[in-house]
Chains A and B, each alone.
Chain A
């Protein structure tokens, strides 16, 4: 399977703990996005990477959130000092600058539950 993969699929943590999620995009895609989705809502944009450069961050991404994409391959999203309001599905997507660049390919998501 050469689609976008995310790990873990589910994470349960206690308030105040740090968590880290990983995303492996489609190998030839140089664009990578992180979204957050809560119940009854659509995906909300968090941040965007082109290769290893983080080119845009949403105001939703507070200073407790940090994302990296070393070497322009996989990406990690870390949440420090988690709060109950961080409970959501975190989606990763990737796309290519060639062809239909507007189409993003999504991973299955990581569901975070903060107790």
Chain B
């Protein structure tokens, strides 16, 4: 039962352009969403998060958008840089719960 889905296994983008990574969820109880980035041979690192009371959160080149009615969130990276090439995981949790549910990840390639 995949509660968090990332339907695009990979995405290729030209340097300087926008990268858009998508994520869908099924559990209405989720009220906090996170994006993690993972380089090879390293553990995931936290990138940005958003609470369900917001529809947008921005941090530098990274912006996360949340559409609760569609149970959809997206991560925008502008402008994309070659160093952004990594696997990006969407994750979700709910208040009072201890576990974080991760999607399968999207591998981003940023071409120079």
Contacts and interface: CB of A to CB of B under 8 A. Distances in A.
A93 interface: yes
Interface string A36-65: 000011111100101000011010000000
A107 B102 contact: no
Interface in B58-112: 89, 91, 93, 98-105
Contacts of B36: 106
A41 B104 contact: yes
A107 B32 contact: no
Interface stretch (A12-20, A69-77, A79-87, A97-105): A97-105
A40 to B, nearest CB: 6
Given A4-B43, A106-B43, A40 B104 contact: yes
Interface in B1-31: 4, 6, 9
Contacts of B4: 42
Contacts of A100: 49
Given A48-B98, A102-B93, A104-B100, A42 B42 contact: no
Nearest to B89: A42
B105 A107 contact: no
13 contacts: A33-B98, A33-B100, A40-B104, A42-B6, A42-B103, A43-B102, A45-B100, A102-B34, A102-B49, A103-B49, A104-B46, A105-B45, A107-B43
